Amino acid sequence: MLLVVAAVLSCANLILALRWLDVVLRSRTKLDRGEAKLDLPSLSIIVPARNEERNIARCINSLLATRHPDFEVIVVDDGSTDATRTIVDALAQRDPRLKVVAGSELPDGWVGKPWALTQGARIAREAWLLFTDADTEHEPLAAPCALTCALENGYAVVSLLTDQQTIGLAERLLLPTILFVIMLGVGPTDDVNDPREPDVAIFNGQYILVSRVAYDAIGGHEAVRGEIAEDLELARRFKRDGRFRIFLAGADGLVRTRMYRSFTEIWQGFVKNFAIGARGQPLRAIAGTALLACVSPIAPLVALVCLIERQWLAAALLVLSGAAVAAVAEVGMRRARFAPGSGIAVPLGLVVTLAIFATSLYRTLLGGGVEWRGRRYGGGLRRVR
């Protein structure tokens, strides 16, 4: 009996390994780091900031060093209660390209980030808009390279998968697996960039460069005002609209971010929106969750039982197939510029991912909602307080 169970679980391991390998092999697109054009159109860079005192100076200073002939940086202070506003005001006094906007009260039916981005876009004066997060850090040629890529290839949107800085133990052990599971659910970037695949869409909200014409035509962030995962929904609107080409690619070191710095931050950050990506695809979500659960924690537990019972063949099947998953993940994670050895932590990362998904599903769809940045959103994703 153990051999049969082990064989089934080994098949699950191999299915995940093959699916992950497909995503890795067809997600190799990176932004060209070559010298950018000099005659680029004007650019407005919009940064929403709510209680970002530990990140905001590094982000803004890196943006102000952008090698672009005509740009502005707009920081929307979304009701910060820490030193965020003081820091950006001091920076603005030294550089007239930086504008600081005091965000107005969140209207009913809006989520905080889309509202902040909308306010920034309303006062932006330039032909292209770059929406980027306060925890990012940009190389001087990042925006010019992204804009050159858009112009030379006819893209209306360029979204970059920023390099993830993982310094603490929780970050190193969990973030690579969580982010790879997200890409596993979405699909390869080749499909995201293929207009013939309208249902495969995602942007990275940490970096979205979009032409003003396309942004206004699609309805801007106002069209996704009630969405916690506003970047995902914006991408879906662009893909299904069909008028504008989009491009998702790796940043290749041009943009970095440190998303979360502790287990608590990782948990809260992904619980707020993890279940949203499964909306409208319940059967696919169920199948994917079952597959991940078979890979971990079920397969490692059964492998342990097989060793205790001296079922060597069954144990070998599980160990080898599990090693295949870890090996494929390691290759993909290396390409995504994660630390060497990240693939070894996949079993632990999958357990935490499943726990996050279950909690997110309950809170966003069945429970009392989720809390983020001091605001609570109900099960229907409407603001509670």
Cβ(13)–Cβ(321) below 8 Å: yes
The pLDDT value recorded for residue 37 is 74
Give me the mean pLDDT over the 190-194 stretch.
96
- Say if CB 343 and CB 330 are below 8 A apart: yes
- Return the pLDDT at 367: 61
- Is the pLDDT confidence value at 196 over 60? yes
Whether residue 251 sits in one domain with residue 127: yes
Q: 289: which residues sit within 8 A by CB, 6+ positions away? A: 354, 357
Instruction: Centre a 10 Å sphere on the Cβ of residue 116 and count the other Cβ atoms it contains.
Output: 27
For the chain, the domain total comes to: 2
Judge if 229 and 283 occupy the same domain: no
- Residue 34 maps to a domain: no
The reply to whether 54 falls in a domain is yes
CA gap 94, 88 in Å, rounded: 10
Whether 267 is in a domain gets the answer: no
Extract the tokens encoding 365.
């769809």
Per-residue pLDDT tens digits for 98-132: 999 999 999 999 999 999 999 999 999 999 999 99
Q: Are 161 and 204 in contact (CB under 8 A)?
A: yes
Residue corresponding to tokens 């039982």: 305
Mean pLDDT of the region 324-340: 94
Are 47 and 94 members of one domain?
A: yes
pLDDT band at 81 (very low <50, low <70, confident <90, very high): very high
Phi, psi of 79 (to 5 degrees): 70, 35
Which CATH number is 165's domain given? 3.90.550.10
pLDDT at 238: 97
Bridge partners (DSSP) of residue 164 are 257
Among candidate residues 231, 261, 291, the one where a domain is terminated: 261
- Asked if the model's pLDDT at residue 139 lies above 70, the reply is yes
Task: Identify whether 383 is part of a domain.
Answer: no
Q: Are residues 86 and 140 in the same domain?
A: yes
Q: What does the pLDDT read at residue 12?
A: 96
What local confidence, expressed as pLDDT, does residue 1 receive? 83
In this prediction the pTM is 0.92
Write out pLDDT tens, residues 8-33: 999 999 999 999 999 999 998 999 88
12 and 51 fall within a common domain: no
- State yes or no: pLDDT of 384 exceeds 50: no
275 pLDDT higher than 80: no
pLDDT at 381: 44
Q: Which of 203, 234, 261 delimits the end of a domain?
A: 261
Residues 107, 18 share a domain: no
List the domain range (segments joined by +) for residue 214.
43-261
**In the chain, what percentage of residues exceed pLDDT 90?**
79
Contact 97, 64 (CB under 8 A): yes
Query: What is the structure's pLDDT at 385?
Result: 36
- The predicted pLDDT at position 274 comes to 76
Mean of pLDDT values over 266-292: 79
Same domain? For 6 and 105 the reply is no
Mean pLDDT for the stretch of residues 177-203: 93
**Confidence at residue 378, expressed as pLDDT on a 0 to 100 scale:** 62
Residues 210 and 337 in one domain: no
Q: Given pLDDT bands bounded at 50, 70 and 90, which one contains residue 366?
A: low
**Which pLDDT does position 272 carry in this prediction?**
78
Q: Would residue 17 count as lying in a domain?
A: yes
216/123 same-domain check: yes
Same domain as 341, residue 298: yes
DSSP state of 279: T
Work out the angle between the directed axes of helices 263-271 and 169-186 (0-180°, nearest 10).
20
Would 33 be classed as within a structural domain?
no
pLDDT of residue 360: 82
Phi, psi dihedrals of residue 208, rounded to the nearest 5°: -130, 115
Of 120-134, 149-163, 364-378, where does mean pLDDT reach its minimum?
364-378
The HSE-up count of residue 352 (CA atoms within 13 Å, CB side) is 21
Is residue 348 in a domain?
Answer: yes
Is residue 218 domain-shared with residue 345, that is, in the same domain? Answer: no
Which residue, among 332, 333, 331, 307, has the nearest Cα to 318 in the 3D structure? Answer: 307
Instruction: Based on the fold, state whether residues 240 and 358 are members of the same structural domain.
Output: no
Q: Among 237, 261, 285, where does a domain finish? A: 261
The conformational region for residue 96 under phi > 0 = left, psi -120 to 50 = alpha, else beta, is alpha
Answer whether residue 202 is part of any domain.
yes
